[in-house]
């Protein structure tokens, strides 16, 4: 899981300059605008069910198949409704651009299967199926890198083909989760006890070393759905926070400003993407057995890795952003640095919100995200029309200050830890970070060496 968490931002490093050179500033802005409604669907149509499945299946794995089938059916239905909503607001979302409107429709329709994949992923995390989650992430990364680079190399990279690669990847990679539909579960063993299940799957097997009283056996799908709805409000707010700029930048500041902002976020979000991947695993583990010390120490390590990444990227950024992305993107240097600071501010808030949700209080996390969204939208409409891409960057920084401040205060009360425990990096944290970084580099080197062996064997076979 840790290695694949770093593969996602690594793929962004490879594909971002390819998209920038292959699509131009305006084309990059059109791609961001075309994908923005589909990204909003991923939060709205799932109704918070992926996190709800993670939370309940971590302690009640035998419920997996019946709950997963119902959750998937509901998600597909809501996905169809969301496509209808996109059609209604299409003139505004596309800026009355017919070509962009067609791209938005294509991405929205093809996102519906990806909604089901997100539900399956939530169940897999709850079941602690880290291998499958890692494989799914790896397949998605390979499809994106090979697809974008291949299309660019053969002169076939357009906004349409880029949209197709973005939406097809999740559908293909989601096949790894089909094993979740097998069988009702495992037999009771020593150290476990059985309780009656309301989902007509016999008796639920529960580990005796897990505090199941914190997550009682749901008395029907409605219990899971209620938890999901409490998560859903925050999920929608979170997605709006991440995609509002893509949806609103064109009417407020133009496609060129959006293109610059898209490149700036692509670079500055690299540390944040790793933190979000860690956040998902942390939620799955703590849904099974809550551990406040693990949450706070993980927050500090994520912040440490994020800071190191931002120092390396930010320090060298003026040297390579122009040559790598194109001369027109040199103007994105300062916006990128501002957004890196925003990403660092966000990391402790993400980890604190994960702990709050794993402690069974997702409504508080949603409240914090909703408050942040209000601040974000208000600042966006005030700053972006006047300052363009810089206004969007300062809006992001202000929003993350609000989010992290709120979540640290809430986590302090819910988890009974000090807010400083999330941000005060110690010498032990630095040593652990160095050790973990060394381990990751060692794994990557082994993977690289193993990849060379088949190529060498193939070259010998042709001699």
The tens digit of pLDDT for each residue in 265-317 reads: 888 888 887 788 788 788 888 888 888 999 999 999 999 988 988 999 889 99
Give the three-class secondary structure for 103: helix
461: pLDDT confidence band, cut at 50, 70 and 90? very low
User: Do residues 344 and 310 lie in contact, with contact meaning Cβ atoms separated by under 8 Å?
Assistant: yes
Among 328, 299, 307, which Cα is nearest to 411's? 299
C-alpha to C-alpha distance for 309 and 436, rounded to whole angstroms: 14
C-alpha to C-alpha distance for 228 and 125, rounded to whole angstroms: 15
Q: Which residues contact 339 (CB under 8 A, 6 or more apart)?
A: 264, 265, 267, 268, 269, 393, 396, 397
H or E element that contains 143 = helix 130-153
The DSSP code for 330 is G
Residue 43 lies in a domain: yes
C-alpha to C-alpha distance for 8 and 141, rounded to whole angstroms: 6
Residue 203 lies in a domain: no
Mean pLDDT over the full length of the chain: 81
pLDDT of residue 446: 66
Predicted TM-score (pTM) of this structure: 0.71
H or E element that contains 193 = strand 192-196
Give the three-class secondary structure for 97: coil
User: Do residues 123 and 64 lie in contact, with contact meaning Cβ atoms separated by under 8 Å?
Assistant: yes
Residue 345 lies in a domain: yes
What is the number of alpha carbons within 13 Å of residue 128 lying toward its C-beta? 9
Residue 308 lies in a domain: yes
C-alpha to C-alpha distance for 190 and 410, rounded to whole angstroms: 38
Count Cβ atoms below 10 Å from residue 297 Cβ, excluding itself: 18
Q: Tell how strand 203-207 and strand 192-196 pair up.
A: antiparallel
Among 166, 167, 152, 159, which Cα is nearest to 100's? 159
Give the three-class secondary structure for 417: coil
pLDDT of residue 213: 39
Residue 193 lies in a domain: no
pLDDT of residue 190: 41
Domain limits at 340?
2-182+221-423
Region 181-195 average pLDDT:
48
User: Do residues 231 and 366 lie in contact, with contact meaning Cβ atoms separated by under 8 Å?
Assistant: yes
% of the chain with per-residue pLDDT over 70: 84
Radius of gyration of the chain (CA): 22
Give the range with max mean pLDDT: 112-116, 202-206, 437-441. 112-116
Q: Of the ranges 236-250, 332-346, 353-367, which one carries the lowest mean pLDDT score?
A: 236-250
Count Cβ atoms below 10 Å from residue 245 Cβ, excluding itself: 26
Residue 201 lies in a domain: no
Higher local confidence (pLDDT), 204 or 16: 16
Among 390, 361, 359, 394, which Cα is nearest to 375's? 394
Give the range with max mean pLDDT: 42-46, 258-262, 326-330, 362-366. 362-366
Residue 389 lies in a domain: yes
User: Do residues 388 and 255 lie in contact, with contact meaning Cβ atoms separated by under 8 Å?
Assistant: no
Residue 435 lies in a domain: no
How many domains does one find in the chain? 1
Region 34-52 average pLDDT:
82
pLDDT digits (tens, 9 = 90+) for 47-98: 888 888 888 888 888 888 888 888 888 888 988 998 999 898 888 888 778 8
Residue 153 clears pLDDT 70, i.e. is over it: yes
Give whole-number Cα distances, 46 to 117, 300, 426, in Å. Answer: 10, 30, 39
């Amino acid at each position: 899981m840790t290695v694949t968490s770093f593969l996602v931002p690594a793929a962004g490093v490879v594909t971002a300059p390819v998209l920038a050179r292959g699509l131009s500033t305006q084309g990059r802005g059109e791609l961001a605008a075309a994908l923005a409604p589909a990204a909003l669907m991923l939060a709205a149509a799932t109704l918070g069910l992926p996190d709800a499945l993670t939370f309940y299946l971590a302690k009640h794995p035998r419920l997996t198949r019946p709950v997963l089938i119902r959750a998937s059916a509901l998600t597909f239905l809501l996905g169809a409704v969301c496509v209808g909503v996109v059609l209604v607001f299409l003139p505004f979302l596309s800026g009355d651009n017919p070509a962009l409107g067609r791209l938005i429709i294509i991405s929205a329709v093809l996102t519906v299967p990806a909604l089901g994949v997100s539900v399956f992923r939530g169940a897999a995390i709850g079941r602690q199926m880290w291998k499958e989650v890692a494989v799914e992430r790896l397949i998605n990364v390979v499809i994106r890198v090979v697809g974008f680079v291949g299309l660019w190399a053969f002169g076939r990279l357009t906004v349409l083909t880029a949209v197709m690669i973005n939406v097809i990847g999740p559908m293909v990679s989601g096949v790894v989760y089909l094993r979740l539909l097998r069988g009702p579960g495992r037999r009771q063993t020593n150290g476990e006890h059985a309780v009656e299940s309301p989902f007509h799957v016999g008796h639920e097997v529960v580990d005796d070393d897990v505090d199941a009283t914190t997550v009682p056996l749901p008395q029907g799908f409605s219990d899971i759905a209620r938890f999901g709805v409490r998560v859903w409000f925050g999920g929608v707010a979170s997605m709006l926070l991440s995609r509002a700029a893509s949806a609103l930048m064109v009417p407020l500041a133009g496609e060129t400003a959006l293109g610059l902002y898209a490149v700036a976020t692509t670079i500055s979000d690299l540390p944040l993407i790793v933190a979000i991947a860690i956040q998902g695993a942390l939620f799955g583990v703590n849904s099974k057995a809550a551990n406040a010390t693990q949450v706070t120490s993980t927050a500090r390590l994520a912040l440490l890795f994020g800071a190191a990444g931002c120092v390396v990227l930010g320090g060298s950024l003026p040297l390579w952003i122009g040559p790598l992305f194109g001369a027109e993107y040199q103007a994105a240097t300062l916006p990128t640095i501002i957004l890196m600071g925003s990403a660092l501010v966000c990391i402790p808030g993400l980890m604190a919100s994960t702990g709050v949700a794993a402690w069974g209080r997702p409504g508080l996390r949603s409240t914090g995200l909703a408050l942040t969204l209000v601040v974000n939208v208000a600042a966006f409409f005030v700053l972006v029309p006047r300052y363009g891409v810089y206004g969007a960057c300062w809006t992001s920084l202000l929003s993350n200050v609000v989010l992290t401040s709120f979540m640290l205060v809430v986590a302090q009360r819910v988890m009974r830890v000090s807010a400083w425990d999330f941000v005060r990096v110690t010498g032990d944290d630095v040593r652990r970070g160095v050790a973990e970084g060394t381990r990751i580099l060692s794994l990557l080197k082994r993977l690289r060496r193993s990849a060379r062996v088949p190529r060498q064997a193939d070259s010998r076979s042709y001699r």
